Protein backbone atom coordinates (compact mmCIF):
# COMPACT_ATOMS: atom_id res chain seq x y z
CA UNK A 1 0.00 0.00 0.00
CA UNK A 2 2.81 2.41 0.69
CA UNK A 3 1.40 4.14 3.77
CA UNK A 4 1.20 3.47 7.48
CA UNK A 5 -2.10 2.35 8.99
CA UNK A 6 -3.40 1.88 12.51
CA UNK A 7 -6.48 -0.22 13.16
CA UNK A 8 -8.82 0.07 16.11
CA UNK A 9 -12.22 -1.26 16.99
CA UNK A 10 -15.10 -0.45 19.27
CA UNK A 11 -18.69 -1.48 19.75
CA UNK A 12 -21.26 -3.31 21.82
CA UNK A 13 -20.61 -6.71 20.22
CA UNK A 14 -21.61 -8.48 23.45
CA UNK A 15 -25.18 -7.27 22.79
CA UNK A 16 -25.07 -8.52 19.20
CA UNK A 17 -22.07 -9.28 16.94
CA UNK A 18 -23.26 -6.71 14.38
CA UNK A 19 -22.47 -3.91 16.84
CA UNK A 20 -18.78 -3.72 15.97
CA UNK A 21 -16.91 -0.99 14.10
CA UNK A 22 -13.40 -1.47 12.76
CA UNK A 23 -11.57 1.67 11.66
CA UNK A 24 -8.41 1.85 9.60
CA UNK A 25 -6.63 5.11 10.38
CA UNK A 26 -4.19 6.73 7.96
CA UNK A 27 -2.27 9.99 7.98
CA UNK A 28 -3.57 11.80 4.91
CA UNK A 29 -6.84 12.43 3.12
CA UNK A 30 -5.19 11.19 -0.08
CA UNK A 31 -4.38 7.86 1.57
CA UNK A 32 -7.93 7.68 2.92
CA UNK A 33 -9.36 8.24 -0.56
CA UNK A 34 -7.04 5.67 -2.13
CA UNK A 35 -7.77 3.05 0.52
CA UNK A 36 -11.52 3.65 0.46
CA UNK A 37 -11.53 2.63 -3.22
CA UNK A 38 -9.44 -0.52 -2.70
CA UNK A 39 -12.11 -3.23 -2.80
CA UNK A 40 -9.57 -6.05 -2.45
CA UNK A 41 -8.31 -4.56 0.82
CA UNK A 42 -11.82 -4.42 2.29
CA UNK A 43 -12.65 -7.96 1.14
CA UNK A 44 -9.46 -9.19 2.81
CA UNK A 45 -10.20 -7.30 6.01
CA UNK A 46 -13.75 -8.68 6.13
CA UNK A 47 -12.42 -12.21 5.47
CA UNK A 48 -10.51 -11.99 8.77
CA UNK A 49 -13.85 -12.01 10.58
CA UNK A 50 -14.51 -15.49 9.21
CA UNK A 51 -10.92 -16.67 9.55
CA UNK A 52 -10.88 -15.78 13.25
CA UNK A 53 -14.39 -17.16 13.87
CA UNK A 54 -16.27 -13.94 14.47
CA UNK A 55 -19.94 -14.92 14.94
CA UNK A 56 -21.55 -15.52 11.58
CA UNK A 57 -24.80 -13.74 12.49
CA UNK A 58 -22.97 -10.40 12.67
CA UNK A 59 -20.16 -10.62 10.13
CA UNK A 60 -21.83 -8.87 7.20
CA UNK A 61 -23.08 -5.99 9.37
CA UNK A 62 -19.76 -5.14 11.03
CA UNK A 63 -18.83 -1.60 10.01
CA UNK A 64 -15.47 -1.26 8.26
CA UNK A 65 -14.27 2.29 7.72
CA UNK A 66 -11.24 4.44 7.01
CA UNK A 67 -10.38 7.84 8.47
CA UNK A 68 -7.39 10.15 8.23
CA UNK A 69 -5.47 12.19 10.74
CA UNK A 70 -5.89 15.19 8.44
CA UNK A 71 -9.69 14.91 8.63
CA UNK A 72 -9.65 14.47 12.41
CA UNK A 73 -7.34 17.48 12.75
CA UNK A 74 -9.57 19.60 10.52
CA UNK A 75 -12.98 18.53 11.86
CA UNK A 76 -12.28 17.57 15.49
CA UNK A 77 -9.15 19.51 16.47
CA UNK A 78 -7.14 16.28 16.38
CA UNK A 79 -9.30 14.48 18.95
CA UNK A 80 -10.09 10.99 17.68
CA UNK A 81 -12.41 10.25 20.60
CA UNK A 82 -14.57 13.30 19.90
CA UNK A 83 -14.45 12.60 16.17
CA UNK A 84 -16.10 9.20 16.58
CA UNK A 85 -18.47 10.21 19.35
Judged against a pLDDT cut of 90, whether residue 80 lies above it is answered with yes
Distances 20 to 30, 40, 82 between C-alpha atoms, Å? 26, 21, 18
Residue 2 pLDDT level (bands cut at 50, 70, 90) = low
Contact assessment for residue 59 and residue 50, using Cβ atoms and an 8 Å cutoff: yes
CB 78 within 8 A of CB 68: no
- Each domain of the chain, given as residue ranges in start order, spans 6-84
* pLDDT, tens only, 14-64: 999 999 999 999 999 999 999 999 999 999 999 999 999 999 999 999 999
- pTM for this entry: 0.88
How many angstroms from the chain centroid is the CA of residue 68? 11
Residue 1 has pLDDT above 70, yes or no: no
- Which pLDDT does position 59 carry in this prediction? 94
Amino acid sequence: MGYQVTVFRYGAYWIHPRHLAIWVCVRTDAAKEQLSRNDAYWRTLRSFLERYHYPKEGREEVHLGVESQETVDRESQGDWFQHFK
